[in-house]
């Protein structure tokens, strides 16, 4: 298993370095940050071929330290189209190896689903790369649970990427029961709730249009209020231990069953240092239990509020603000998929319709309203 790799309990995720949160950095700034992460004890680095130039940055920065670090990259997106064919995987891996300036990738992971390629072919591609010594292990991520299980049954999956934080437990709750039947570990990402658990986000916080959080459901409506409440509660619990809210959030994830490493991704040194200061801190059973009780209480309140949010959006009269309706439908789709009110297949297709519609120049509210109607017509409401 991956336990023989140099894997720190906290890993560095390179998504933010690609500019996903609107904070553009220079080449030298990225290199400096990666070196700082290494100096603070981080040996696990997660990237993807689609994360701008981050593979090349990692390869250049950590070349002399290659045998002391773990590189995890991803495959699945060929431009804007999913491609998990055997040939596509091998070609993508060759490109990533060149970018990373290495002979092998420690963990190569499915990034997104390719509905047009059989899972057996994708597994065959990974196994061929292992046989050729170009990857050591492979993992999966961002897949519906039924496909996750198929990979686990038919492949040698070592890791599963899972969004997990005190304000996002859906994926972890799906995967945790599988640990008793399959030999894998979870790589938790967004463990600080994309900054929500820093305690610095308020209902008045505005994000730039280039910041993915500007449309992220986590920062909308009652989900935003829920996240702020959780951050405030973690701050109160942390004060008893002389720790910040975000440090408590990371420590809590690290002590959950099945977690291999928790990915952080600060672009500022002071945040990086704050995050890594929790590396050797162990929460007591009582503190873990206090957090669990608090989260359960907050989740029950949120569940009712989310239902109200969704009903309000779906039953409102035609919206005249395109951006608002787009954000609302993303919010609704995420809720319906997570609560099995829409199938994953249909939910993903409707997400794609939204994305395509926004990219074309003649996008219209009428097209979004048609997506809204598909949700209404196909939604399975639980009594």
- Is a pLDDT exceeding 60 seen at residue 383? no
Q: How confident is the model at residue 360 (pLDDT cuts 50, 70, 90)?
A: low
What's the rounded Cα separation, in Å, for the pair 254 and 261?
A: 7
Instruction: Kindly tell me if the per-residue pLDDT of 361 is higher than 60.
Output: no
Element (H, E) at 30: helix 27-39
**Of 148, 171, 5, nearest to 72 (Cα)?**
5
Question: Does the structure show a pLDDT above 80 at 382?
Answer: no
Q: Is 35:43 a contact under the CB 8 Å cutoff?
A: no
Mean pLDDT of the chain: 94
Long-range residue pairs from 309-315, CB within 8 A, at least 24 positions apart, any chain: 309/221, 309/222, 309/335, 310/335, 310/336, 314/372, 314/375, 314/376, 314/379
Tell me: pLDDT of 54 over 60: yes
Q: Is 10 helix (H, G, I), strand (E, B) or coil?
A: strand
Q: What does the pLDDT read at residue 344?
A: 85
| Tens of pLDDT, residues 173-213 | 999 999 999 999 999 999 999 999 999 999 999 999 899 99
Residue pair 280/197 in contact (Cβ under 8 Å)? The answer is: no
**pLDDT higher than 70, residue 80:** no
3-state secondary structure of 94: helix
Name the band, by pLDDT with cuts 50, 70 and 90, for residue 362.
low
CA distance 1 to 10: 18
């Amino acid at each position: 298993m991956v336990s023989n790799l140099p894997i720190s309990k906290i890993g560095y995720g390179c998504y933010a370095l690609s500019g996903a949160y609107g904070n553009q950095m220079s080449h030298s700034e990225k290199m400096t940050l990666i070196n700082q992460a290494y100096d603070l004890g981080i040996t696990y680095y997660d990237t993807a071929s689609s994360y701008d130039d981050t593979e090349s940055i990692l390869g250049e920065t950590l070349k002399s330290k290659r045998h002391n670090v773990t590189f995890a990259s991803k495959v699945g997106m060929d431009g804007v189209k999913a491609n998990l064919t055997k040939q596509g995987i091998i070609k993508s891996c060759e490109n990533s190896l060149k970018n990373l300036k290495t002979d092998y990738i420690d963990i190569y992971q499915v990034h997104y689903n390719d509905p047009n390629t059989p899972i057996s072919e994708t597994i065959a591609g990974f196994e061929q790369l292992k046989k050729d010594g170009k990857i050591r292990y492979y993992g999966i991520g961002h897949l519906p649970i039924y496909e996750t299980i198929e990979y686990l049954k038919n492949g040698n999956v070592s890791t599963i990427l899972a969004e997990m934080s005190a304000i996002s437990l859906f994926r972890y709750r799906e995967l945790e029961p599988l640990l008793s039947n399959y030999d894998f570990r979870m790589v938790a990402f967004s463990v600080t709730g994309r900054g929500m658990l820093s305690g610095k986000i308020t209902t008045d916080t505005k994000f730039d249009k280039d910041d993915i959080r500007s449309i992220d459901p986590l920062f909308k409506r009652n989900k935003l209020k829920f996240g702020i409440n959780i951050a405030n509660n973690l701050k109160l619990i942390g004060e008893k231990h002389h720790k910040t809210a975000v440090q408590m959030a990371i420590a809590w994830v690290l002590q959950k069953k099945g977690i291999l490493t928790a990915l952080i991704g600060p672009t500022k040194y002071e945040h990086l240092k704050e995050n890594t200061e929790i590396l050797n801190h162990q929460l007591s059973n009582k503190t873990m239990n206090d957090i669990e009780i608090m989260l359960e209480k907050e989740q029950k309140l949120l569940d009712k509020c989310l239902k109200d949010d969704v009903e309000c959006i779906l039953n409102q009269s035609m919206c005249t603000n395109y951006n608002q309706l787009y954000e609302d439908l993303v919010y609704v789709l995420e809720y319906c998929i997570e609560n099995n009110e829409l199938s994953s297949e249909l939910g993903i297709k409707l997400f794609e319709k939204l994305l395509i519609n926004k990219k074309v120049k003649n996008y219209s509210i009428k097209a979004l309203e048609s997506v809204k109607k598909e949700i209404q017509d196909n939604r399975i409401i639980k009594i």
